[in-house]
C-alpha cells in the first residue's frame, strides 16, 4: 500500500517536472541569446554614448561612460563643484564650499544656509556627474560634412548599382539554371573561378581603360560594371533557381510563354527571397565601398559618397571623437533600417540558397 502511494505521488509530480523542463529550456535559450546580443551590441552602445559626449568630457579623468558633465551648484553667483561625500554612513551630493587639506566645508544644495564640515582630503572624493547629452554633435556633423549632398551621392550610387546588379545577375543566373547550351558547365566554372582572382591584379588595367575612355572623375567606372553581373551573386541566384521545379516552365511554355515571359511570370515571383538577398548584399557593398570611389572620384569631392567623405572628415576632426562617432552612426542608420524591413526575405534566401540540384 505504501509503495502504491509512493508511485502515485511520483506520477503526480512528473507533469510538474515536465512543465518546468518545457518552460525552462526556452527561457534559458532566450537568456543566453539576450546576453550574446547585448555583448554584440555593446560596441554600438559605446559609440552612441561617445557621440553624445563633449570633447572636454572625453578628456577628463574618471569620467563616466555615459554623456555627462561635472555637476555644479550656483550659490551667490559662484559655481561650486559637487562631490559624493560620505556623511553619517551615506553618500550625499554636496558642493565644495571651502576646500582644505585635512578638512573641508561643504554646503547642501537643498539647504545652502547650513555649512557641513567634513574631515578628510576632498581630492579623494568622487565627482558627481549630471546626464547632459550633446545632441548638437549630430547637427554639427550634418553641417560640417555637408550630409545631404554626400548622402544623396551614396543613395544614388547604391540604388543604381543595386538595380544593375539584380538585373544582370538574374539574367545570367537564369541562363545557367534553365538553358542547355554547349560549354555551359565550362563557362560557369570559368565564372566561378573569377572569385579567386585578386582585385589588385585587375586594378591597374581597369583604371587604365577608364582613363583612356575618359570616365575617371565620374560615376561611370563604379556603376557600369554593376550591369555586367558578378560571380558571387550569379552563383547565389542560380542555386536558388535550381530549387524551382522546371515543370512550371514547361507548363508555361505549353501555354505559349517565351523565355522572358517565363522568367517574368513564373521564375521571379518565386525567387523574391534570393533577389532581395542579392539586392541587400549589393546595396550594403556599394554603401560601404571606399576604395573604388576614392580612386575614381578623388578629383570630384562633389560626387564622393559618404564612405570617402567620412574618412576625410575623420582626418580633419580626429581630435574630437564625438563628432567622428556621430558621423559613423548616422551612416549606419539607412542600411540597418533596410535590413530590418527585408529581414524575412533575406533569411529565407540565405536558408534555401545552395539546396538546388541541377537536373
Shortest CA distance to 271 belongs to which of 263, 259, 261?
263
pLDDT score of 259:
86
CA distances from 78 to 68, 73, 93, 217 (A): 21, 8, 17, 58
Output the pLDDT for position 337: 83
The answer to whether the CB of 129 falls within 8 A of the CB of 117 is no
Q: Would you state the pLDDT for residue 273?
A: 85
Residue 201 in 3-state DSSP? helix
- Mean pLDDT in runs of 10 for the chain (359 residues)? 48 52 66 77 82 81 79 85 86 88 87 86 85 89 91 94 94 90 89 87 91 93 93 91 86 86 89 88 90 91 91 88 89 81 64 48
DSSP state of 128: P
CATH topology of domain 145-352: MetI-like fold (1.10.3720)
Distance CA 143, CA 146 (A): 5
Q: How much is the pLDDT for 359?
A: 46
Q: SS3 for 280-330, per residue?
A: HHHHHHHHHCCHHHHHHCCCCHHHCCHHHHHHHHHHHCCCCHHHHHHHHHH
Contacting residues for 203 by C-beta, under 8 A, at least 6 apart: none
> Could you tell me the pTM of the whole model?
0.74
The full set of domain ranges for the chain reads 16-51, 72-127, 145-352
Amino acid at each position: 500500500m505504501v509503495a502504491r502511494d509512493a508511485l502515485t505521488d511520483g506520477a503526480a509530480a512528473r507533469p510538474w517536472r515536465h512543465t518546468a523542463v518545457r518552460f525552462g529550456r526556452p527561457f534559458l535559450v532566450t537568456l543566453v541569446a539576450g546576453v550574446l546580443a547585448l555583448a554584440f551590441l555593446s560596441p554600438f552602445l559605446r559609440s552612441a554614448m561617445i557621440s553624445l559626449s563633449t570633447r572636454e568630457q572625453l578628456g577628463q579623468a574618471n569620467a563616466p561612460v555615459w554623456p555627462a558633465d561635472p555637476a555644479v551648484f550656483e550659490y551667490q553667483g559662484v559655481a561650486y563643484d559637487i562631490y559624493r561625500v560620505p556623511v553619517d554612513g551615506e553618500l550625499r551630493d554636496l558642493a565644495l564650499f571651502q576646500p582644505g587639506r585635512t578638512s573641508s566645508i561643504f554646503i547642501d544644495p537643498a539647504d545652502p544656509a547650513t555649512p557641513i564640515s567634513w574631515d578628510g582630503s576632498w581630492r579623494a572624493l568622487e565627482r558627481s556627474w549630471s546626464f547632459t547629452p550633446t545632441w548638437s554633435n549630430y547637427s554639427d556633423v550634418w553641417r560640417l560634412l555637408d550630409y545631404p549632398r554626400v548622402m544623396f551621392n551614396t543613395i544614388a550610387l547604391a540604388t543604381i548599382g543595386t538595380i544593375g546588379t539584380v538585373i544582370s545577375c538574374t539574367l545570367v543566373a537564369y541562363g545557367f539554371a534553365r538553358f542547355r547550351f554547349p560549354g555551359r558547365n565550362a563557362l560557369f566554372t570559368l565564372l566561378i573561378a573569377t572569385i579567386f582572382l585578386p582585385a589588385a591584379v585587375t586594378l591597374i588595367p581597369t583604371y587604365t581603360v577608364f582613363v583612356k575612355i575618359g570616365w575617371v572623375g565620374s560615376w561611370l567606372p563604379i556603376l557600369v560594371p554593376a550591369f555586367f553581373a558578378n560571380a558571387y551573386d550569379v552563383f547565389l541566384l542560380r542555386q536558388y533557381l535550381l530549387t524551382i521545379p522546371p515543370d512550371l516552365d514547361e507548363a508555361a511554355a505549353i501555354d505559349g510563354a517565351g523565355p522572358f515571359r517565363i522568367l517574368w511570370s513564373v521564375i521571379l515571383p518565386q525567387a523574391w527571397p534570393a533577389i532581395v538577398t542579392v539586392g541587400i548584399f549589393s546595396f550594403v557593398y556599394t554603401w560601404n565601398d571606399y576604395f573604388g570611389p576614392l580612386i575614381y572620384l578623388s578629383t570630384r569631392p562633389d560626387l564622393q559618397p559618404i564612405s570617402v567623405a567620412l574618412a576625410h572628415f575623420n582626418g580633419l576632426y580626429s581630435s574630437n571623437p564625438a563628432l567622428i562617432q556621430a558621423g559613423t552612426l548616422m551612416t549606419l542608420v539607412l542600411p540597418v533600417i533596410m535590413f530590418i524591413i527585408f529581414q524575412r526575405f533575406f533569411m529565407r534566401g540565405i536558408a534555401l540558397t545552395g539546396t538546388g540540384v541541377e537536373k
